[in-house]
A = this chain, B = another copy of it.
Amino acid sequence: MSDYLYERVAAGIQTQIEQGTYAPGERLPGVRKLRRQYGVSVATAVAACELLEQREILEARPRSGFYVRGRARHATAPPEVSAEETPGPSLVSGQERVLELVQAHHDPDLMSLGAAVPDAGFLPGAALDRSFARVRRRARRRIAGYDFPPGSSELRVQVARRMADAGCSTGPDELVVTSGCQEALVLSLRAVANPGEVVAIESPTFYGILQAIESLGMRALEIATDPADGMIPDALAHALRTWPIRACVMMPSFGNPLGHLAPPARKAALVALLREHGVPLIEDDVYGELAFNSVRPWAAKAYDEDGDVLYCSSFSKTLGAGLRVGWVAPGRYRDRVMYLKYAGSQASPTVTTLAVADYLEQGGYERHLRRARRRYERQVRRFVDAIGRHFPEGTRVTRPRGGFVIWVQLPRSTDAVILQQRARAVGISIAAGPIFSSSGRYRDCLRLNCAHPWTDTVADAVARLGTIARELHREGIS
């Protein structure tokens, strides 16, 4: 709950709007009425409305008051849980083509809405510059040498402090520094499973997880996942009884691509269920710090009693993907993970690790995060609104409460893979659904990265996507 009265009033009004008490286009009661309803001063009521204006939930009309912003030509419902029967475990294939998708991110002629990379403008570049300069000055001899696993204690101390916010009492000695979250995931998978063995995953899931599984020759098993609340415990329980599952990978907080958030009780239930079956959980929490309402959700690792959860994260989404500074809290697999890190690349670069540790020590990270959360919230709202305006009727979209990706489900018989091809032809890159599945599902879905400044170019690109999608939809039903 927020510390400021006006934020609490704003939250109340926002709830009323979300519940339909005030519909898009309607005028909100005047500030005097709001004042009485919430028992606050006029100034507080005005501040609350201005906050909602800033968040683009309300718009002020001169001499008339505050109106609920016109959202969409039609309401966009959330995507449905895939009703298809879960197929059995399968070797993952075809993930090589994702490299092409992400390489498109470097193409200056493409508007890249595909790769989930935050725009540099959303990152603390200048402060990081100062940290790099500082560590190069202070620790030149040290940064010339290897930062052997587990990696610099300075970074591990800073990370351990942050882990406490996620409900985890993980000490510095329980952490291993990695080259981003992807390496943490791969090391964790290698520590707990062998080629040919079965790994349970969310459906849809982050393609990086599929690539890790594919490149290690393991088999993936998709578990039904609610687009709002995450992996469904009953579906996981059924799978655990049916298949020889050796590990489970999930992103329970603002997961990619759904942006879902598993409620605390569900996280606890999933952890308990896996422990009961002796299956380690690999948790990817790379978006966990980006809760829009500023309340950082507890990680699944918070419910881990015996060290069965291998928690993976990084600073890629908050400080910069190009830093490749991540970590893993591998629970009782620490020694194995540490050795695999060493055998795989000896160490991570010393300078980037120490620079991030220095940046965190300086103390500006919380302020930066607060700002980033507000910006990502606004971005996601803008993208969702624009989809409502431009995409064909029947389009469904997730409404994440953190992170910066959204998952769009096109109306029946509209093919997102063709949408991707046609969009590419006009200079827009998106990520069509099948790369988020080990069984080729989600041809009607796509993921969009909302972490771009909302320029005319971006607005035009989303409108353009909507036009193509409407064309495809018409072709499909004709």
Q: A residues bordering B, Cβ < 8 Å?
A: 95-96, 98-99, 102-103, 105-106, 115, 117-118, 120-121, 123, 125, 128-129, 132-133, 136-137, 140-149, 179-180, 182-183, 186, 190, 195, 208, 211-212, 214-215, 320-325, 335, 338-340, 342-352
Contacts and interface: CB of A to CB of B under 8 A. Distances in A.
Given A133-B133, A141-B120, A343 B186 contact: yes
Contacts of A345: 179-180, 182-183, 186, 324, 345
A245 to B, nearest CB: 21
A208 B339 CA distance: 11
Nearest to A133: B133
A96 B335 CA distance: 9
A376 to B, nearest CB: 15
Nearest to A321: B146
Given A99-B338, A148-B103, A339-B215, A346 B324 contact: yes
Given A186-B343, A195-B195, A339-B96, A322 B214 contact: no
16 contacts: A96-B335, A99-B339, A105-B145, A106-B148, A118-B144, A125-B144, A133-B133, A179-B345, A180-B347, A183-B345, A212-B344, A322-B347, A323-B349, A323-B350, A324-B348, A324-B349
Given A140-B129, A148-B106, A349 B352 contact: yes
State the copy count for this chain: 2
Contacts of A323: 349-351
Contacts of A132: 132, 136, 351
Q: Is the contact region of chain A dominated by helix, strand, or loop, or is it mixed?
A: helix
Given A179-B179, A180-B347, A211-B343, 17 more contacts: A96-B339, A99-B149, A102-B146, A105-B145, A115-B146, A120-B141, A121-B141, A123-B144, A144-B322, A179-B345, A180-B346, A195-B195, A211-B339, A215-B343, A321-B346, A324-B345, A324-B346
Nearest to A183: B345
A171 to B, nearest CB: 18
A358 to B, nearest CB: 14
Considering residues A140, A195, A208, which has the most beta carbons from chain B within 10 angstroms of its beta carbon? A140
Given A106-B148, A335-B96, A344 B215 contact: yes
B344 A182 contact: yes
Contacts of A342: 98-99, 102, 211
Contact of A145 (B99, B141, B321): B321
A342 B186 CA distance: 11
